[in-house]
Amino acid sequence: MLPKLFYFICYTMWILNTICSVSSKIKPKSYEKYLTEVMDHLSEQIGWDSLQHLEIKYDFSTKISTNIKDVICKGSSTILSKKFDAIIHILNYMYAEVIKTFIDHICAIAKRCQEYYDLNQGDNFLSCTVLLQSVVENSKTMFEQLYNVMNYLSNIDIKLLANKKKTFSVPIVDEIYTFVEYASLKTKQNTQIFINPNDPNTKKDACEVILDVNSFIERKGHKAYKKIKEKNSLVFHNHKPKFSLEENLEDYKALQNKNIELSYYLSEWLNMYYIEVSTNLYKNLGFEQVLESKNESSVRFPVYLYENIDQKEGIELINAITKENGWKSLKPIHIVFNDQVISVDRILRHPADRLNFHCKKQHVLRVIKCIYTEIMFKYYEYVIFILSYCEMRYVKCNDLIYINLVRQIFDAVHESTKMFEVMYKTLVSLNKQIGEYIHDNWNSNLKCLCTLITKLLEEINSEKYSIDVLDSKIDISEQSKNLCYASISVKNITKFLKYHKSKHRTLNESHEKQCPIRNLLLNIDIPNSINTDTFSSACNKLIVFSENVIKVYYEELGLNKFN
């Protein structure tokens, strides 16, 4: 091993084991104080009074249920983490009802428009479709507010408040975002349907609006609502749900003598409903002050205190790297955080700020750790496979071929150390500049992965696997000595790789749990078969892979900004 690299690794490992394990951690008391202020602010808002008909069983160990106001009030004996659990469950339930109401009424309006089309009532058909398009667009602000609430709750690290907590309430973030995304798309399209029944293009555009709305509801809308309902097992409703389509249709029948068209009646009702939801389930619950940074807000935004880590600089650094185009290729990757399955797409949706920094940096850390751990294990499997071919009986029968093959794989392995050096320095810099994920145990955190990389680099760069010794132009008298050296070297490195792969089984297990979906853009698949003619290609594939990893998972992700 080069002396410079050796001393760098020794020094940084000392940093990891002595400083970063302490310096990177947020002070829990500061975090708890901020969240206590948030909870006190929320519990004082009048909006929670209207939700007291909802009963919640917030403790799995008991059958006792109570209303939300009694759970979250200042005088409640419920611990802070369970108060937030209760709020998440209640809002999951209520926001699910909002989505159900939206879906039912949108479908009813679309159905009415379709009836006009089938009856060839051009004027009514086009007027109805204009209302349908408009009422979907008008839902955007309401859904954005509900989404912002859930996104905020998803960025509360409950584990930091209750470090022995095993299960977590999961806010319906992505499910609501489905509706935000659709309403935003319709707003951008801003389809204008002019009341001209004689224009075939106008009629075609109107049909497209109906088809598009129905397609969204059938493909994404119902799917999102179904997922939400599966998360509402702890909430009990003691009254008949309000705002049902059935009630509105009954009310409409009673108004027939006023000659109000049904689609107009339902769309006007929905527009008023959006305002009511924004008022009762957003503003009156206290989230407007928490999220919209108003000067008169009594809730102080957090400046999380980390030793030796400046929050402002950390925010700027995370935003700088996540703007790089390479992050778009990571969208198929998902990580798990406090029982939430979080996609890279969600991580990239919003820039880092004071509200989400604590969790945002952990998400970024987990994504990088996920990628580098996957690369490490893929590398182990691939090299072990190539080495196993060298040890096949018919290969070892020819001394010169065997020595040549061993030389090729060792040459590829030495070349690949550049990839691991970059990965190592990146992990150390991440740990130093934005911190470690505080809840990981030793067997699953960044320092464990750094240790694994260090040992691999030390092994490869040791004197055990010198390529120069296996010079193909050696004298015939030295061939037996080289043959012995090659054979011992193959056995040693194979044993090393297999041992460390099995030794770090816990890291692999945590990797499976923390990264359930990790479809990497780059991969190195073990070939179905290999022979002496394709061996060089297989070794070269390892070199190309390591070069591409540096390009795609280091440079294009902007991680060079950390070094």
DSSP 456-503: HHHHHTSGGG-TGGG-TT--GGGHHHHHHHHHHHHHHHHHHHHHHHHH
Residue 493 and residue 376 share a domain: yes
Residue 305 is assigned to a structural domain of this protein? no
Please give the pLDDT value at position 323: 94
Q: Which residues pair with 56 in a beta bridge?
A: 66, 235
Spell out the per-residue pLDDT of the chain, length 563, in tens: 444 444 444 544 444 444 334 344 667 788 888 899 999 999 999 999 988 888 887 555 566 677 888 889 888 888 999 999 989 988 998 999 999 999 999 999 999 999 999 998 888 899 999 999 999 999 999 999 999 999 999 999 888 888 788 888 899 999 999 999 999 999 887 766 665 666 778 888 889 999 999 999 999 999 999 888 776 667 666 556 667 898 889 888 888 666 789 999 999 999 999 999 999 999 999 999 899 865 555 677 767 767 667 888 889 999 999 999 999 999 999 999 889 999 999 999 999 998 898 889 889 999 999 999 999 989 999 999 999 888 887 677 777 888 888 989 999 999 999 999 999 999 888 888 777 655 566 555 777 888 889 999 999 888 788 776 666 555 555 667 778 888 888 899 999 998 887 776 777 778 888 888 888 888 888 888 888 889 999 999 999 999 999 999 999 999 988 77
Residue 298 is assigned to a structural domain of this protein? no
Residue 30 is assigned to a structural domain of this protein? no
Residue 416 and residue 440 share a domain: yes
Residue 300 is assigned to a structural domain of this protein? no
Please answer whether residues 142 and 198 qualify as being in contact, where contact means their C-beta atoms are separated by less than 8 angstroms. Answer: no
Please answer whether residues 406 and 470 qualify as being in contact, where contact means their C-beta atoms are separated by less than 8 angstroms. Answer: yes
Residues 6+ apart with CB under 8 A from 439: 159, 160, 163
Please answer whether residues 143 and 183 qualify as being in contact, where contact means their C-beta atoms are separated by less than 8 angstroms. Answer: yes
Residue 276 and residue 154 share a domain: yes
Residue 307 is assigned to a structural domain of this protein? no
Whole-model pTM above 0.75? yes
SS3 364: helix
Please answer whether residues 195 and 16 qualify as being in contact, where contact means their C-beta atoms are separated by less than 8 angstroms. Answer: no
Last residue of a domain, one of 291, 306, 337: 291
Q: Which long-range contacts (CB under 8 A, 24 or more apart) does 358-362 make?
A: 358/26, 358/31, 358/155, 358/157, 358/160, 358/302, 358/304, 359/154, 359/155, 359/156, 359/157, 360/155, 360/318, 361/314, 361/318, 361/434, 361/435, 362/157, 362/337, 362/437, 362/438
Residue 13 and residue 51 share a domain: no
Cα–Cα distance measured from residue 345 to residue 260, given in angstroms and rounded to the nearest whole number: 44
Residue 14 and residue 66 share a domain: no
Please give the pLDDT value at position 442: 54
Please give the pLDDT value at position 368: 93
Residue 239 and residue 332 share a domain: no
The domain in which residue 333 lies consists of: 3-25+315-562
Residue 336 and residue 274 share a domain: no
Residue 503 is assigned to a structural domain of this protein? yes
Residue 301 is assigned to a structural domain of this protein? no
Residue 462 and residue 417 share a domain: yes
Cα–Cα distance measured from residue 390 to residue 535, given in angstroms and rounded to the nearest whole number: 10
Number of domains comprising the chain? 2
Residue 340 and residue 242 share a domain: no
Last residue of a domain, one of 275, 291, 307: 291
Residue 518 and residue 406 share a domain: yes
Residue 17 and residue 46 share a domain: no
Residue 177 is assigned to a structural domain of this protein? yes
The tally of CA atoms less than 13 A away on the side-chain side of residue 58 is: 24
Residue 73 and residue 124 share a domain: yes
Tokens of 345: 């797409």
